[in-house]
């Protein structure tokens, strides 16, 4: 009887473990195997080729550019979404009559489809689009750019659109964290003569670490796995200037290079794991120490 009680909790998790294994663990292990093969659409037999697919990834200029663009996108969006998210959360946590309306306005882009965002922004970002016309009107013609057709800035443009769309979601998480901080801390700091900046760095940021941790993980993983924003705004163009790992995977499978596509996907999974887990452990330790 005692043994059955000890095993009772395991009986409850077995269905979830089975489903997880069937739909995630087994496909992941199968994909890992195929990433070391020459699996192609035009071949009836599959041959094990070792590290050839991975060697190609790190020697092909287009694939290297995709990795570089993915890293740029991830870094820029992580910084942009979190810095702006904290700033908006702090501002909209103050006593403003219109704060509820403003919260809804800033959050609303995050619930829109990326396809809708592309329909809105694509004409605005053209050389003759709204943004350049606005810059010309206010005398900033020198800042006008070919936002989606200049290879040197296109990935930065896509990152900016992503920041615009998703910052409101990060803001909502930071707002929840701010509202859980007792006002007594700030009252005590004011009595001790601490200014706004000192209160922010000594009270707000340390107590906001759980929310920062969540948002860092979400934005980092989302940035490394970027696909939809690039696909709908540029399709990886002009040329291959805005290709990212996600679009390379799609193109590889579309061309029938399934082994290569699986290898790129395996590399992306490894990169997300290697970067995210140590960062998560570090942030958790910071939470405990604070």
The CATH code of the domain that includes 108 is 1.10.3720.10
pLDDT at 280: 82
Q: Is the pLDDT of residue 54 over 60?
A: yes
pLDDT at 289: 62
The owner of tokens 């071949």 is: 43
Q: What are phi and psi of 37, to 5 degrees?
A: -125, 170
76, part of any domain: yes
127, part of any domain: yes
Q: How far apart are CA 259 and CA 251, in angstroms?
A: 12
37 strand-pairing partners: 48
242, part of any domain: yes
Domain that holds residue 284: 35-289
Residue 103: band (very low, low, confident or very high) from pLDDT cuts 50, 70, 90: very high
Looking at per-residue pLDDT, the higher value among 286 and 31 belongs to 31
Q: Is the pLDDT of residue 97 over 60?
A: yes
pLDDT at 246: 94
10, part of any domain: no
30, part of any domain: no
7, part of any domain: no
229, part of any domain: yes
Q: What is the mean pLDDT of residues 203-213?
A: 90
Q: What is the DSSP string of 172-239?
A: HHHHHHHHTS-HHHHHHHHHTT--HHHHIIIIIHHHTHHHHHHHHHHHHHHHHT--HHHHHHTTT-ST
Structural domains in the chain (count): 1
54, part of any domain: yes
């Amino acid at each position: 009887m005692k043994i059955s009680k000890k095993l009772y909790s395991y009986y409850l998790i077995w269905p979830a473990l089975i489903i997880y294994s069937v739909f995630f663990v087994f496909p992941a292990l199968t994909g890992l195997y195929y990433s070391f093969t020459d699996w192609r659409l035009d071949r009836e037999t599959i041959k094990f080729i070792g590290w050839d697919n991975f060697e190609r990834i790190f020697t092909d200029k287009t694939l290297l550019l995709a990795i570089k663009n993915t890293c740029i996108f991830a870094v820029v969006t992580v910084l942009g979404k979190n810095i702006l998210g904290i700033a908006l959360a702090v501002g909209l946590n103050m006593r403003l009559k219109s704060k509820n309306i403003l919260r809804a306005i800033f959050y609303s882009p995050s619930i829109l489809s990326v396809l809708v965002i592309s329909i809105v922004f694509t004409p605005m970002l053209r050389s003759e689009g709204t943004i350049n016309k606005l810059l010309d009107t206010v005398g900033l013609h020198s800042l006008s750019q070919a936002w989606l057709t200049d290879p040197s800035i296109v990935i930065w443009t896509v990152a900016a659109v992503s920041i615009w769309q998703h910052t409101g979601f990060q803001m909502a998480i930071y707002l929840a964290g701010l509202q859980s901080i007792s006002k007594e801390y700030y009252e005590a700091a004011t009595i001790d003569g601490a200014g706004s900046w000192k209160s922010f760095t000594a009270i707000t940021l340390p107590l906001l670490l759980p929310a920062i941790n969540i948002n860092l993980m979400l934005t980092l993983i989302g940035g490394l796995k970027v696909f939809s924003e690039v696909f709908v705004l540029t399709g990886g163009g002009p040329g291959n200037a805005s290709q990212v790992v996600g679009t390379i995977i799609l193109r590889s499978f579309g061309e029938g290079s399934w082994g290569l596509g699986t290898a790129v996907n395996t590399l992306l999974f490894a990169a997300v794991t290697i970067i995210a887990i140590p960062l998560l452990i570090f942030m958790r330790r910071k939470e405990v120490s604070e």
